[in-house]
Amino acid sequence: MSTLELDTQVDASRMEISDEVAIEISDMNKWFGTFHVLRDINLTVNRGERIVICGPSGSGKSTLIRCINRLEEHQAGSIVVDGTELNSDLKNVDKVRSEVGMVFQHFNLFPHLTVLENCTLAPIWVRKVPRKEAVERAMHFLEKVKIPDQAMKYPGQLSGGQQQRVAIARSLCMMPRIMLFDEPTSALDPEMIKEVLDTMIELAEEGMTMLCVTHEMGFAQAVANRVIFMADGQIVEQNEPHEFFNNPKSERTQQFLSQIIGH
Amino acid sequence: MAGLSYVRVEMLPEREPPVSEVGLIGWLKSNLFSGWFNTILTLISLYFIYALVSSILPWLWSPTWAAQSLNECREIVSDLGKEHGGACYGVIRERWQQLLFGFYPDELRWRPILTLILLFVALAPVLFTEAFPAKMLWFTGAFLFLAPWLMWGGVIWTPLLVAAGLVIGFYAFKFSAGAIGNLAAIILAIALPILWWMFAIGPISQGLASIIPFGIEVVESRLFGGFMLSVWIGVVAIAISLFLGVVLALGRQSELMIVKYLSVGFIEFIRGVPLITLLFVASTLLNIFMPPGTNFDIILRVMIMATLFASAYIAEVIRGGLAALPRGQYEAADALGLDYWKSQRLIILPQALKISIPGIVSTFIGLFKDTTLVSIIGLLDPIGLTGSIRADANWNGIIWELYGFIAILFFISCFSMSRYSMWLERKLRKGHQ
């Protein structure tokens, strides 16, 4: 398993998991037309948990975390985020969205705005933060992701890794209590993956509740307190990372792990 | 292995490029005379250009500015012994004011000229956002009400009361949105100003005028004409159709069924009908539907039709821009908690409009040239005026000079629009990289 080790040391002192429930998903089902993408999903996430979701493509893992901020609508069951149930009430949806940060595979930065404007836009227009304060906050988080000097550039002028770090900073500017990562490193060149993962590790060290769809198994081992394996729209296996990687119970999991780590 | 190893001891200095890469001869050689076939094509093209220019230039060079009639022109030209004939500029000298202003009273022509100058002032902060302060937009807003007053004249109260209609709409929305919901409030905010404009403005404005009779002389619509009329209809239709087009494009993508199908129905109907039929509806049919005795200004009616026509096309152009945006942009805006209007205004439309600039400007240029169609329903735009000028015994039979002059006026306007759009595209592209 040596290939999985990250060279970064993770400081676990502040990575505490509280008893408070952050996300409660019960008997959730979703269909795309007639295709049953998510089947009877039950998942409880406590505050401070760092969950990595993995599985073969088409297994519904992205759809699952996109349901948590209602980029996708579920058709049956319930999703409660921070005590707010996601239903057709737009007020609830907006409330959840402003408290849940999301980082996408393709960054989805706004190309017509500078890096700084990308970061201040939502705080100013959604949270009504005064502009000056929003700029200070944005610079704080841009420093945190180590690119304050790029603040005045446009996203198109940055490398992929830098763009993804801006995307993380943009989410953090909304002071989210939960962060969702949808394959944040899949679109990056190998040498840029580490800088994004380092940023995510730093976030985890500060106790952020994180759900992360990724195939970075080194990250999962170092940071996650729980790894979930999905296949065919169902949660097949979940365990703490050491057990998950060294002693997978189900055949599907073993097969999947042997494919991604085998070589 | 010894043969493979090589180490450069001395670095080579830069050398002059060969003649073919620089200078006039190099350029000619690579662009016009590369190979015998291209050389022949170049020579043939040069001959054509020479033949064209050598027959047009003598025609253009014709000292007929002072001529009083076409016959006089012909005499001057034949005295010079020109074999291809010559242009007769006398008609332009005699009629250029009419071609520009129609029958707008001479002593009041400062008003359309002032309006045009103020139009440029009002457009400056919109077209060149970086060079002019955003505060100038206040003037742009005021210009919307000032311009019709300057053009048509009347008491000062009318434009002020028309503007007050918008304020009424705004406050109607603001105070009712909480009580009756957004959609109902929007309907109220549209209905109240329309009622105000239709029924309240006339009496109130008359009443105010009898107390403080401040106003400028009224100029009736039938006196409007010439290039001024084209610009007047064109500018109003362009300004309003951009706004309407955005609304229709968003409406067409809306998830609200009624809004969506109303937008689709409107767009497809308008695009399926020639502009000329809409203009005929404006000139004849519309009066039948109006209550008897109301006199709905013909220019206003034409403006409305031209605006509706252009807005349907603009809507489709903008829809293309909206469709070209990656889904991720919508998702990122949603994920940050921006509501529909904010994400449209801040994220989606700025990008969609940028993509649509070439299409939007093409539509505007087309619309501006289409304003000449109003000559068919009897308005005296430049084309409409040519009829009466050519019917004049002095100028009977003149064609090229008259239409050429009008063509130049339109070309200058349309070419400027086209250059502006290219400049804007370049500027925005640089910004975003």
166-185 of A, contacting B, C-beta below 8 A:
170-171, 174
pLDDT confidence of residue A4? 46
Q: Do A111 and B347 touch (CB under 8 A)?
A: no
- B256 reaches A (C-beta below 8 A): no
What integer is the mean pLDDT of B85-112? 90
| Domains held by chain A: number | 1
Establish if A255 belongs to a structural domain.
no
pLDDT tops 50 at residue B396 = yes
39-78 of A, contacting B, C-beta below 8 A:
69, 71
Chosen for mutation from B182, B334, B336 (greatest number of chain A CBs closer than 10 Å) is B336
What integer is the mean pLDDT of B47-58? 92
Establish if A201 belongs to a structural domain.
yes
Tokens standing for A8? 């970064």
Contact assessment for residue A111 and residue B325, using Cβ atoms and an 8 Å cutoff:
no
DSSP string, B46-110: HHHHHHHHHHHHHHH----TT-SSHHHHHHHHHHHT-SS----THHHHHHHHHHHHBT--GGGTH
Neighbouring residues of A262: CB distance < 8 A, sequence distance ≥ 6 = none
**Cα separations in angstroms, B57 against B54, B65, B74, B76, B87:** 6, 16, 17, 17, 10
pLDDT tops 90 at residue B308 = yes
Query: Distance of alpha carbon A122 from its chain centroid, rounded?
Result: 19
Residues of A in contact with B433 (CB under 8 A): 154, 156-157
| C-alpha distance from B32 to closest chain A C-alpha (Å) | 39
Residues of B in contact with A111 (CB under 8 A): 351, 432
Distance CA B365, CA A97 (A): 43
Tokens standing for A49? 């948990």
- B324 reaches A (C-beta below 8 A): no
What integer is the mean pLDDT of B20-35? 80
Establish if A249 belongs to a structural domain.
no
Chain A residue closest in CA terms to B347: A110
Residues of B in contact with A98 (CB under 8 A): 336-337
- A84 reaches B (C-beta below 8 A): no
Tell me the pLDDT tens digit for each residue of B404-427.
Answer: 999 999 999 999 999 999 999 888
Taking 70 as the pLDDT cut, the residues of chain A under it are: 1-8, 262-263
Long-range interactions of B389-394: CB distance < 8 A, separation 24+: B389/B91, B389/B95, B389/B98, B393/B69, B394/B68, B394/B69, B394/B70
Q: Greatest CA span in chain A, whole angstroms? A: 55
Distance CA A48, CA A134 (A): 26
Q: Which residues, in sequence order, are bridge partners of residue A101? A: A179
φ/ψ of residue B165, rounded to 5: -55, -40
- What is the radius of gyration, based on Cα positions, of chain B? 29
Residues of A in contact with B335 (CB under 8 A): 69, 71, 97, 100-102, 104, 171
Going A156 to A161 to A164 to A169, the CA torsion angle's sign is negative
**Cα B329–A62–A37 angle (5° rounding)?**
115
Residues in chain A: 263
DSSP string, A165-199: HHHHHHHHTT--SEEEEESTTTTS-HHHHHHHHHH
Query: Distance of alpha carbon A77 from its chain centroid, rounded?
Result: 22
Query: Distance of alpha carbon B35 from its chain centroid, rounded?
Result: 45
Helix B226-252 with B110-127: angle, nearest 10 deg: 30
What integer is the mean pLDDT of B331-356? 92
- A121 reaches B (C-beta below 8 A): yes
- pLDDT band for position B194 (50/70/90)? confident
Distance CA A251, CA B416 (A): 70
A vs B: CB pairs below 8 A: 67
**Going from the N-terminus, what domains does chain B have, and what CATH number goes with each?**
30-60 (no CATH), 65-104+225-433 (1.10.3720.10)
Residues of A in contact with B431 (CB under 8 A): 112, 154
- B331 reaches A (C-beta below 8 A): yes
Q: Do A112 and B431 touch (CB under 8 A)?
A: yes
Residues of A in contact with B326 (CB under 8 A): 106, 108
Chain B residue closest in CA terms to A91: B339
Q: Do A71 and B331 touch (CB under 8 A)?
A: yes
pLDDT tops 90 at residue B59 = no
Distance CA B262, CA A55 (A): 45
pLDDT confidence of residue A167? 95
Distance CA B333, CA A130 (A): 20
pLDDT tops 70 at residue B361 = yes
Establish if A68 belongs to a structural domain.
yes
Tell me the pLDDT tens digit for each residue of B105-119.
Answer: 999 999 999 999 999
Establish if A122 belongs to a structural domain.
yes
Establish if A257 belongs to a structural domain.
no
Chosen for mutation from A62, A67, A71, A158 (greatest number of chain B CBs closer than 10 Å) is A71
Which among A182, A218, A174 is positioned nearest to A198, based on CA atoms?
A: A218
Domain ranges, residue A124: 2-51+61-227
Contact assessment for residue A120 and residue A201, using Cβ atoms and an 8 Å cutoff:
no
pLDDT confidence of residue B433? 53
Establish if A238 belongs to a structural domain.
no
Q: Do B328 and A106 touch (CB under 8 A)?
A: yes
CATH code for the domain of A172: 3.40.50.300
φ/ψ of residue B215, rounded to 5: -170, 175
- B220 reaches A (C-beta below 8 A): no
Contact assessment for residue B329 and residue B347, using Cβ atoms and an 8 Å cutoff:
yes
Which residue reads 């005590």 in tokens? A83
- B328 reaches A (C-beta below 8 A): yes
Establish if A191 belongs to a structural domain.
yes
Which residue reads 């016009």 in tokens? B32
B256 or B47, greater pLDDT: B47
- Mean pLDDT, all residues of chain B: 88
For residue B118, the one-letter residue type is L
Which of A113-122, A227-236, B289-298, B349-358 bottoms out in mean pLDDT, i.e. has the lowest?
B289-298
Going A55 to A57 to A59 to A64, the CA torsion angle's sign is positive
pLDDT tops 90 at residue B120 = yes
For residue B230, the one-letter residue type is S
- B57 reaches A (C-beta below 8 A): no
